[in-house]
Amino acid sequence: MTALLTTNLGAIPLLGRGKVRDLYAIDDALLLVATDRISAFDHVLATGIPGKGKVLTQISLFWFELLSDLVPNHLITAEVSKYPVALHPFADQLAGRSMLVKRAAMFPVECVARGYLAGSGWKEYRESGTVCGISLPDGLLDGSRLPEPVFTPATKSQDGAHDENISFAATEAVVGAADAAELRRLTLALYDRARQHAESRGLILADTKFEFGRFKFEGAAEGIILADEVLTPDSSRYWDAASWKPGGTQPSFDKQYVRDYLESIRWNKQAPAPGLPDEVVERTLEKYVEAFRRLTGRGIQL
């Protein structure tokens, strides 16, 4: 199996390439294509993870369906046969890894829900006892469950490399008080639903990031919709519930093997990014596939 690192859809207008996804304009809609690129420490690596884009897309589709009663989403269809005819010749690049979606005016805020202390939240807590200005109890450890989930928004830095945590007051200043309150409500409601489902599958959803946009529904006022990817191992921290033990970094269902390898070779985290040995590629894909199987109860054809 060969990794798809770059898509080429001929005359279809390319709007941009992110770290993982390629974005195309399709009339009044957008086409999101999840490639097999993988990034670490803010750099896209020279080696991809074959099939990773399909796993991410199928996880997102599972969650869009499961969460659809809580908030509308931007999905039109993920079936290539239902795409505009101009896309049909590229079915080999699109099948299983693409979504035709509605265009929306995206909120410039990353909507993060945390149910456990980890990552940047743990770092801030050690320094100040807070996360995004929210005071937390004393005595928590790396990996501790929080008394209740918290909404910890972030904005993109100017260089586009990092998300920067901000307070709720700062979020209100960016999007307005009413929208900030609704984004917080939706984020925590979605997290709660997803957390419960993950727990039923023996997984802990430690934290996750949602992106929302505003879409004008036909015959209705403008409303907020869930967009981008949702609850994948690239945007969420999943842990195995049976092995969870606060007091250190928890094994996660993401690119942990990649980060560990890059640390082991003492890469200076500057371009150009190195490639990955076969073993790291295989073990990383295994983790993504395991996350899909445990969350959905299904197999996946890569």
The string of pLDDT tens digits covering residues 1-60 is: 899 999 999 999 999 999 999 999 999 999 999 999 999 988 999 999 999 999 999 999
pLDDT band of 218, cuts 50, 70, 90: low
251-298: per-residue pLDDT in tens? 999 888 898 999 999 999 999 999 999 999 999 999 999 999 999 999
Least confident of 153-162, 204-213, 227-236: 153-162
DSSP codes joined into one string, 126-162: HHHSEETTEE--TT--TTPEEEEEEE--EEE-TTSS-
Beta strands in 69-202 (DSSP E): 75-77, 98-102, 105-106, 111-116, 130-131, 134-135, 145-151, 154-156, 163-165
Question: How do residues 243-262 score in pLDDT, each as one tens digit?
Answer: 999 999 899 998 888 989 99
Among residues 35, 27, 26, the alpha carbon closest in space to that of 8 is found at: 35
Could you tell me the sign of the dihedral formed by the alpha carbons of 291, 110, 255, 139, in that order? negative
**Considering the entire predicted model, what is its pTM?**
0.94
User: Which tens digits make up the pLDDT trace of 156-203?
Assistant: 755 555 678 899 999 999 999 999 999 999 999 999 999 999 999 999
What rounded mean pLDDT belongs to the chain?
93
Q: What is the pLDDT of residue 42?
A: 87
* DSSP single-letter state for residue 10: T
Bridge pairing between strands 111-116 and 203-216: antiparallel
What CATH architecture does domain 1-103 belong to?
2-Layer Sandwich (3.30)
- CATH code for 106-243? 3.30.470.20
3-class DSSP state for residue 12?
A: coil
**pLDDT value for 215:** 87
The domain ranges of the chain are 1-103, 106-243
pLDDT at 161: 55
The pLDDT of residue 164 is 86
Cis peptide before 147 (omega within 30 of 0): no
pLDDT in tens, 78-108: 999 999 999 999 999 999 999 999 999 999 9
Pairing of strands 21-26, 14-17: antiparallel
pLDDT of residue 69: 96
> Distance (Å, rounded) from C-alpha 256 to C-alpha 43?
15
Tell me how long the chain is.
Answer: 302
The three-class DSSP label of residue 259 is helix
Select the more confidently predicted residue: 222 or 112.
Answer: 112
CB contact set of 59 (below 8 Å; sequence gap of 6+): 229, 231, 232, 233, 291, 292, 295, 296
Residues with Cβ within 8 Å of residue 30, at least 6 apart in sequence: 15, 23, 24, 100, 101, 102, 103
pLDDT of residue 50: 97
